[in-house]
Amino acid sequence: MTPEVKWYGTNALEFRHSHGSFMIDPYVSRDRNKLHIPGEVDRYITTKPDFILMTHAHWDHLPDIPRILNNCNAILYASRTACMIMRTMGVPEKQLYELSYGETLLLPGNVKVTVFESRHMGIEGVPEGYDSMPERDALNTAEGWRCGETFAFLIEVDGMKILNIGTANMYEKSISGLACDYLFCGISRWKEGFPEMLQKNLRFRYLVPTHHDEFKLPLDQFYLRNDLERLTDVIPGLKTFEIPVLEWTGLSK
């Protein structure tokens, strides 16, 4: 089979392929105040991925992970900051793997993942990450879910190359010259200079936009912002492949 993808809004993605499935940034609670809503996770995350990749540790990416991991035997591949938060949340050590920039992983289902250093648009005055386990109370607010180290993932599966960049930013030194079939890229409120970085550094058949929905609303109130429209206005010939939310979509070779 050719790989298929399901988009859960934000940068939350699930891929299934010839030998299994995996997820990236699976977050479906979509509530900045409650952060995690068990009923929403149980409603939407009904499969058991072989492994999970995490681009960074913000509140709109990480808080549903403890419940997802409790329902399967998957390992979370994430930053030191994300793993420290997960330890505070009671996730067993056997389900955590701290990533390093530049490493290559051979993961279940014959999936090869190369880990690249990336960037997130910073928030002035907010600490970047954790080197030790935070207090549980610190995780009761969105600000406690610090970004930490940020990753991009080049995923090779079923003869296809998929690059995921979870934010509208990148570390040019790390990813310059990369080529892929599908670039899954967060374009949330992209800023000046981002289109030029995209065109200068990456070669891809299609851009699959992610994280351009109004992600503070539940999935049953899903709608898209105008981030993609703004981007295609600046890059008129941009080849995009838009995927519907909550539906399996095939990726052609």
pLDDT averaged over 10-residue windows placed end to end, the chain, 253 residues: 95 97 98 98 98 98 98 97 98 98 97 96 68 97 96 97 96 96 97 96 98 98 98 96 98 88
* Strand residues in the chain grouped as ranges (E): 4-7, 13-17, 20-24, 51-53, 75-78, 96-98, 104-107, 111-117, 151-157, 160-165, 178-186, 202-210, 249-250
Instruction: State residue 122's pLDDT score.
Output: 65
Instruction: State residue 121's pLDDT score.
Output: 78
Whole-model pTM? 0.97
Q: How far apart are CA 139 and CA 86, in angstroms?
A: 10
| Domain locations along the chain | 4-250
* Longest distance between any two alpha carbons in the chain, whole Å: 48
Instruction: State residue 105's pLDDT score.
Output: 98
Instruction: State residue 71's pLDDT score.
Output: 95
Give the CA dihedral 189, 156, 244, 62, nearest 10 degrees: -60
CATH superfamily of 4-250: Ribonuclease Z/Hydroxyacylglutathione hydrolase-like (3.60.15.10)
Cβ atoms of 136 and 184 within 8 Å: the answer is: no
* Triad 91, 150, 97: Cα angle to 5°: 35
Contacts of 98 (CB under 8 A, 6+ apart): 78, 79, 80, 83
Residues in the chain: 253
Query: How many of the other CB atoms lie within 10 Å of CB of 33?
Result: 9
3-class secondary structure, 97:
strand
Cβ atoms of 101 and 115 within 8 Å: the answer is: yes
Instruction: State residue 127's pLDDT score.
Output: 55
Instruction: State residue 34's pLDDT score.
Output: 98
Instruction: Please state the separation of Cα 46 from the chain's center in Å.
Output: 18
Instruction: State residue 123's pLDDT score.
Output: 55
DSSP string, 174-231: HHTTEEEEEEEEE-TT--TTHHHHHHHHEEEEEEEEES-B-TTS-GGG--B-SHHHHH
Instruction: State residue 253's pLDDT score.
Output: 79
